[in-house]
Structure 1
Amino acid sequence: MAALVAAEAAVTRGPAEAAEAAEAAELSRVLSRLLPGLEADNKLGRRRALEALQRELEAARPEAPDADPAAAAAAFQGPWARLLLPRLLRCLTDPAEGCRALAVHLLDLGLRRAARPCDALPRLLPALAARLACPEPARRPPPEPCEELRLALVQLLGLAVRLGGTALAPHLDDAVRVLRSTLLDPFAAVRRESCECAAGLARATPDHFHMQSESLIGPLMQTVSHQHWKVRVAVIEATGAVIQFGSGKSVDDVLPHFAQRLFDDVPQVRRAVTRVVGGWLLDLRDRYSFFHKLIPLLLSGFDDDIPDIAHEATSLWEKVGLQWQTENEEDLKDKLDFASPPPAHHPSPERRPGLGCRELVFRNLAKILPAICHDITDWVAGTRVKSAQLLAVLLLHAEDHATQHLEPILRTLLHACADEEGAVVRSCISCAELIGAFVSPEVFLKLILTTLRKSPSAPGLLVLASVVRGCPREALRPHVKVIATELAQAHICQGPENPVYGERLLLCVQALVAGSREDCREAALPLLEVLVTVLALWGATGLGDKVQETLAALAAAEGVDGSQDLFREHLGPLLEWVAASHRDWTVHSAEVLLLDVVVTHSGPALGEALPQLVPILRSCLQPARDPALRLQLFSTLTRVLLRAQEAADARGQLRGCLDTVLKDILVPNLQWHAGRTAAAIRTAAVSCLWALVSSGVLSDKQVQEVQETLMPQVLTTLEEDSQTARLLSCRIVGVFLKASDGATEPDKFIKIYPELLKRLDDVSNEVRLAATSTLVTWLECIRNEAGQCCYRSSVQHLYRELLVYLDDPERAVQDAVLEALKAGSVLFPDVLVRETEAALHRHRSPAYCEQLLRHLQAAPPAQ
């Protein structure tokens, strides 16, 4: 029976085999006729022979619909392997470039048509190696000089790899030797094709490739930074396959180069790194050994500028986590069966990473963190940015497991928050907020506050503000007062004179007020102390508006209306806090600025605190104290007195302290002492006195009391070198005269006008005009006196002196003096007429004297 079946099969196969043999014989005949031309001495003959072979092979393709490709390939196999292949391989060394190109093309056709292309590998691979492999170690140029031909030869090698499959295993040495050279070829297309060929070779010979894979890593890594992005992508993809099917030991050699490609400007390159690393995490045989090295590369893609790359990195990471979770299901059984919900204070609970992802990060965090902490201080800005972003992603995965690594993390954040790159600082802020969300306040406050006590710094305050901002209210509640009290310590709230430091300090208060809301009532006083300090030390740098907003928020949290009510609630303790060391103050003491802020922002509440404030000022404004300090405090006191009606004396409280202000503060500082500093202090005291008498809070009787006490000193200050002092002194004398209403003793009264007359020769026209105005007031006081006759000689002298200034070069002074004479003419008009007529001929221009005479003639006779 078996013999019968075999006989029937032989009968069936007979015609097909006969046709195949006939076709092979015909092809052999044709090739035998054309092949001798390949041995021609001239290149034209060889080229014509090759072109004829090309036409014959292309015409011999089975194009009929019913043709059997397998039979045609079988018929082609014999003549190809026996006649054509050896001669074409010899043509690869032909001197003519065109002949070599045709030979490569014919080899490509032959491999594609042959039934058993693997049979060609023992001769083809050595021939390709001879044309493409550079001699080592000299690294001379490859034997094939033409770039296009080298590309065609590499493409031919790639075809052999695809067709040969596992049959390439015995020829791996030749193939790898070729690729080691072509991966470094000057022609970019050759490098790209070589990368594809290397990847194909790795996939085709998985059981043997690991023995040769390491030799390709060096050339690949030399090409990974090629200027053409497509070459870089090809290298990354090839490296993925070479390591996937080769030796895992090469991962360590590749990772630094891949990490650099994460900064590549071309998105396709970064996407390739993400895909390759994700593939390794999923499929690499010994991937568990490299988790701590591969995870950072994949997670770095989460913050890529291209959303598609970030999404792909996220998707791959989710797959890695699920796969690892499945592989370790028994180990995670309890956590899977009793899955905990996302923390209530999770920043994005709907996007919480899966259990596998979280566990992978947690178990490898100790190995990953040291490298991140190192790279976040790198000199390259891009490295610092990526490291800070990666740290935030890791903390989001680690959640409360970050507690055991908190010390190095906080140390890193303190350093990185001082970075000049805004992106680094923003990522560090996010990291600190995550710490606040996941870590217990008892833990992070102990570390942060200890650091601030030892060395207050702007980065330390920024970290504190960020963790407080991220901390949930219920966890923060027991610690609000502790934090506020610590911030209010002098060495922290009065730290470096750096605007950034003040801004960070304000951020801490804002975070506390916003995070704790009504819970910060118990800490309102220390928080207010910090805000006062920020306003005093850094308000001029642009923080004033932000401080006012924070004061309003603190007032709302405490349940009072606005910042003035907030100051009213705490004004007494604030003054005690500021004045605790007032006996040791100098002009450089921060408390001087703090006092200025407190009294300036207290509003009407300041009046209630005057009994507490005035003794402080009295102590600090004594002549024995630092002159610069006294100048600063006089400026503060002047501002208080200028706003006395709506603030310090809103309810008449200033009257009770008036005697102390006059006798213990102003009188000692108006005394004359030699030196410019003493003169500046007298000017400041005069300014303060002017603010007092011009504020409108003193009655005429009180002004008279001030006059009795200070008139001698004020008359002395009319001679000061400071124009401001002379001007204000003139005005103060005018206020005194108006309030006296003729009640001054004649002897003292007569002594006033000569001092004012001297001011008519002042270098400042403003002072001269003020003195003239005050003289008018002096004359009006005499008009109200019952016994004017006792002042006749003094008035006559004044007339005579004023008439001199009717001829003054300054028109404004002439007009003011004329008005003064007109106002004083009602006292003794006959005397003024005589004096005017006597002075008329001495003036350069008699116009003003004539105008005065006309006024006197038109005036009604004195009664």
Structure 2
Amino acid sequence: MATPGVAKATEAPHPAEGAEAAETAELSRALSRLLPGLEADSKPGRRRALEALRRALEEPGPAADPAAFQGPWARLLLPRLLRCLSDPAEGCRALAVHLLSLGLRRAARPHDALPRLLPALAARLACPEPTRRQPEVCEELRLALVQLLSLAVDLGGAALAPHLDDALRVLRCSLLDPFAAVRRESCSCAAALAQATPDHFHMQSESLIGPLMQTISHQHWKVRVAAIEATGTVIQFGNGKSVDDVLSHFAQRLFDDVPQVRRAVASVVGGWLLHLRDRYSFFHKLIPLLLSTIDDEMPEVRQLSASLWEDVGLQWQRENEEDLKDKLDFTPPPPPHYPPHEHRPVLGCRELVFRNLSKILPALCHDITDWVVGTRVKSAQLLPVLLLHAEDHTTQHLEIVLRTLFLACADEETAVVHSCSRSAELIGTFVNPEVFLKLILPMLKKGPSASGLLVLASTIRGCPREALQPHLKAIATELAQAHICQASENDLYLEHLLLCVQALVSVCCKDCSTASLQLMDVLLTIMALTGSTSLRDKAQETMDLLATAEGVSSCQDLYRKYMGPLLERATASHLDWTAHSPELLQFSVIIAQSGPALGEALPHIMPTLRACLQPSRDPQMRLKLFSILSTMLLRAADTIDSQGQLPSYLEMVTKDILAPNLQWHAGRTAAAIRTAAVSCLWAFTSSEVLSAKQIRDVQETLMPQVLTTLEEDSQMTRLISCRIINTFLKTLGSMIDPDKLIKIYPELLKRLDDVSNDVRMAAASTLVTWLQCVKNADGKAYYQSSIQYLYRELLVHLDDPESAIQDAVLEVLKEGSALFPDLLVRETEAVIHKHRSATYCEQLLQHVQAVPATQ
């Protein structure tokens, strides 16, 4: 039986409880006086009541005590404020939302309000399916209501689980709100809801993925960031299977122009790789996303991605320590030729990539050839990152990688080509050349392409010297095959072919001496086929580097060493050459570039020229060869006659090469060939290679044809022919047969009527030389009638409108005046009155009187 004292103590209330009850009663009375105003018919009346409530709650007093506030809040205030959320007046609704937020913060048990608050919020924010419009039309109020929901989530925590349906219904609509701020707040709320109710949220998390993925491409970057971060949390605390639904959307955000968005993707994906419950099953899907940001253009994104990736690798390494025990205990050193500017990833990162590479590569290789430029660029940038992790394990996937590189290196985007070239270099670094050459060379043989050559050049560039050296000659021999080096005249193809040679020379250095002939053959083909001066110059620079590697002072020494084999390879098919034959173009380059070494190869060069310059052969080819021959003869001492052996081929040049091509044939092409042949003859006779006797032999053979070329339509041909005849006459002097000599001057006289003053001047100069030959000949009387005719014709031209021609003709007459001066005087006096000016005739007469006649 209790004592009276104990009973009294039990019945008496605690002083604090009494004070709390008093405050609650006081607050209830105060609120009761204000609450009727909320039911007023007039909008100002309801607004004044709400304003009064706001002041009552914000001022210090009973409302500040959570315990005292809880009762009136739940019993009196909450139901009425929730009804105010549908008030027709926007201002009243705004005040109601503010008071609800204030009440939740003040209440001792805010979660008690959730059963009534969540349905009310759903009623204002959730869209009825047919209309898809929220009942709340004011966007600022929708923002305030979502913020109120966020507050309820923060304060309610796990107590929100029974009301998850209402909360998710609200978020599914507010995540698609037209107002960007509402979307951002909804994203934050979704993330908070996922964290607050993990035990129940995972069953319904998938319902938010659709709205979030619609928001992830919003025009405001802050909304996109919020959507990405919210998706990360929703999946982290929700259903991991949703990863598949968001991957493509996340991949698209990697192309976002705003670095904060890309950073958010890296952060979320890195977080999943570290913390997602079933992350192991998604490694092959998530790793490419994170590694794609490691090469981001923004340093902060790169640093974050690299840090997260290393954390992922180290964590996986710890979780699989038993499996990796041997590799951890006996860590092999980096490959000896590891790329110098690359940081080697930790073992866990390398193992993760290697173990998932077979699942990653097929999709990646498909994307590298996608029709969207951005996809190709990103995928191509990811490939070298994966290969850097895979190292020698790349060998297992070499075929699919090389096949992709062959396609991607033909891409019009330089960024794609650059990344693929880098990937090929890494293949050269980590894969044995014997392996990758067995795949690359047959692919090139089957279908030579610029992209295939770029892949080969890049793999060679990345290959260690000692590994590549045993395969050097095989590569050079394959490149020198006609089906590769002559496959295309496209400059890009030739440029990539040159890259292969440059890579071999730069990697193998002095070892290239074993394949110099083949490499020279390739370089000559490039110089022959290209129309680009810059590419030709690069090929010549590479030839100089090859000479250095060979240990000789210049490429001239290389030609001297390999001239025989080079000419044999080039001229083996000379009987089938046309103007477009690659071998003819190669032959041209050898002739143009080899300098003094040509003089040692005349037994090979001259028969080839004789065979190819016959009138029955392709005219365009003959023109090219005559052009080459002219160039050689102009510098004969430094080229074709460097050994003094050219004169021994005089008969072949004159009778077998020049004579047949100086014969007249109808047509412009035939005329062009005659011009080229005349140019060669001029270069030959003026090159100081031939002796006087040899020039006489040439004159005996070719003078009739040269005289006929004085009638050619080509001014150049007529001019050069005059000069050749002049050279013949100067060399022969009086030794020429009189009958042959007499046949020359009428043809020269005709040229004084030429349309070209240059030809007329050259003809006059040649007539001076002809008269000197007559002057030195025996039996001048034999020439008298010819000289008389010459005087008459020259006197006509002495009255030419061109003073330069008059001066030239005067010099001819002065030269001939010594032969028959009396005859010249008579002829001059007979025509002096017919000239427009007697000045030149008088000068001539004065000269004749001053110079005694030749005896």
Q: TM-score range by the shorter chain?
A: over 0.9
What's the CA shift for 1:674? 3.2
Alpha-carbon spacing, 1:721–1:12, altered in 2? closer, same or farther (3 Å):
farther
Counterpart in 1 of 2:306? 314
Distance 1:858 1:638 in 2: 46
- The reply on whether 1:378 has 2:385 as its aligned counterpart is no
Aligned with 1:118 (options 105, 111, 130)? 111
Counterpart in 1 of 2:78? 85
Q: For 1:145-196, what per-residue CA distance to the aligned partner results, in whole angstroms no more than 9, with x for missing partners?
A: 1111110000000000000000000000000000000001111110100000
Distance 2:111 2:3 in 1: 34
- The reply on whether 1:420 has 2:412 as its aligned counterpart is yes
Counterpart in 2 of 1:678? 670
What's the CA shift for 1:763? 2.1
Alpha-carbon spacing, 1:711–1:32, altered in 2? closer, same or farther (3 Å):
same
Q: How does 1:210-609 map to 2 (within 5 A)?
A: 210-348=202-340, 351-609=343-601
Alignment check: 8 A CA contact 2:663 2:674 kept: yes
Distance 2:141 2:440 in 1: 67
Distance 1:802 1:9 in 2: 160
Q: How does 1:751-762 map to 2 (within 5 A)?
A: 751-762=743-754
- The reply on whether 1:98 has 2:91 as its aligned counterpart is yes
Q: In structure 1, the residue corresponding to 2:327 is in which secondary structure?
A: helix
Q: For 1:748-789, what per-residue CA distance to the aligned partner results, in whole angstroms no more than 9, with x for missing partners?
A: 111111111111122222211111111111112222334433
What's the CA shift for 1:639? 1.3
Q: Unpaired segments of 5 or more residues in structure 2? A: none
Alpha-carbon spacing, 1:566–1:456, altered in 2? closer, same or farther (3 Å):
same
Q: For 1:82-112, what per-residue CA distance to the aligned partner results, in whole angstroms no more than 9, with x for missing partners?
A: 1111111111111111111111000000000
Q: How does 1:38-57 map to 2 (within 5 A)?
A: 38-57=38-57
Q: In structure 2, the residue corresponding to 1:27 is in which secondary structure?
A: helix
Alignment check: 8 A CA contact 1:24 1:79 kept: yes
What's the CA shift for 1:541? 4.7
Distance 2:316 2:13 in 1: 56
Greater shift after overlay, 310-319 or 583-592? 583-592
Counterpart in 2 of 1:779? 771
Identity of aligned pairs, percent? 74
Alpha-carbon spacing, 1:7–1:810, altered in 2? closer, same or farther (3 Å):
farther
Alignment check: 8 A CA contact 2:62 2:69 kept: no
What's the CA shift for 1:133? 0.2
Greater shift after overlay, 273-282 or 675-684? 675-684
Question: What's the C-alpha RMSD, in Å, of the aligned pairs?
Answer: 1.9
Distance 2:304 2:105 in 1: 38
- Name the amino acid aligned to 1:845: S
Q: In structure 2, the residue corresponding to 1:542 is in which secondary structure?
A: helix
Q: Unpaired segments of 5 or more residues in structure 1? A: 64-68
Counterpart in 1 of 2:723? 731
Distance 1:258 1:625 in 2: 68
Alignment check: 8 A CA contact 1:731 1:770 kept: yes
Q: How does 1:630-709 map to 2 (within 5 A)?
A: 630-709=622-701
- Name the amino acid aligned to 2:366: H
Alignment check: 8 A CA contact 1:611 1:657 kept: no
Alignment check: 8 A CA contact 1:373 1:412 kept: yes
Q: In structure 1, the residue corresponding to 2:638 is in which secondary structure?
A: coil
Q: How does 1:798-837 map to 2 (within 5 A)?
A: 798-837=790-829
- Name the amino acid aligned to 2:513: R
- Name the amino acid aligned to 1:171: H
- Name the amino acid aligned to 2:33: R
What's the CA shift for 1:700? 1.7
What's the CA shift for 1:12? 12
Alignment check: 8 A CA contact 2:733 2:772 kept: no
What's the CA shift for 1:612? 1.0
Distance 1:104 1:94 in 2: 11
Distance 1:773 1:232 in 2: 90
Distance 2:6 2:146 in 1: 46
Q: For 1:579-637, what per-residue CA distance to the aligned partner results, in whole angstroms no more than 9, with x for missing partners?
A: 11111112221111111100111101100101111001111112222222222211111
What's the CA shift for 1:852? 1.8
- The reply on whether 1:132 has 2:132 as its aligned counterpart is no
Distance 1:196 1:667 in 2: 96
What's the CA shift for 1:4? 13
Aligned with 1:108 (options 69, 77, 101)? 101
Distance 1:543 1:62 in 2: 91
Distance 1:530 1:349 in 2: 32
Alpha-carbon spacing, 1:786–1:3, altered in 2? closer, same or farther (3 Å):
farther
Alpha-carbon spacing, 1:151–1:748, altered in 2? closer, same or farther (3 Å):
same
- The reply on whether 1:797 has 2:784 as its aligned counterpart is no
- The reply on whether 1:839 has 2:834 as its aligned counterpart is no
Distance 1:547 1:470 in 2: 21
TM-score, scaled relative to structure 1: 0.97
What's the CA shift for 1:292? 0.6
Q: In structure 2, the residue corresponding to 1:557 is in which secondary structure?
A: helix
What's the CA shift for 1:13? 8.4
Distance 2:329 2:457 in 1: 38
Counterpart in 2 of 1:187? 179
What's the CA shift for 1:139? 3.9
Alignment check: 8 A CA contact 1:343 1:349 kept: no
Distance 1:3 1:506 in 2: 112
What's the CA shift for 1:359? 0.6
Q: In structure 1, the residue corresponding to 2:615 is in which secondary structure?
A: coil
- Name the amino acid aligned to 2:431: V
Distance 1:15 1:303 in 2: 69
Alignment check: 8 A CA contact 2:367 2:376 kept: yes
Counterpart in 2 of 1:66? none
Alpha-carbon spacing, 1:848–1:13, altered in 2? closer, same or farther (3 Å):
farther
What's the CA shift for 1:657? 1.4
Distance 1:342 1:177 in 2: 55
Counterpart in 2 of 1:59? 59
Alignment check: 8 A CA contact 1:195 1:235 kept: yes
Alpha-carbon spacing, 1:150–1:324, altered in 2? closer, same or farther (3 Å):
same
Alignment check: 8 A CA contact 2:570 2:583 kept: yes
Alignment check: 8 A CA contact 2:820 2:853 kept: no
Q: For 1:479-505, what per-residue CA distance to the aligned partner results, in whole angstroms no more than 9, with x for missing partners?
A: 111111001011111112211111111
Distance 1:474 1:8 in 2: 103
Distance 1:251 1:42 in 2: 53
Counterpart in 2 of 1:770? 762
Counterpart in 2 of 1:23? 23
Alignment check: 8 A CA contact 1:399 1:438 kept: yes
Alignment check: 8 A CA contact 2:85 2:96 kept: yes
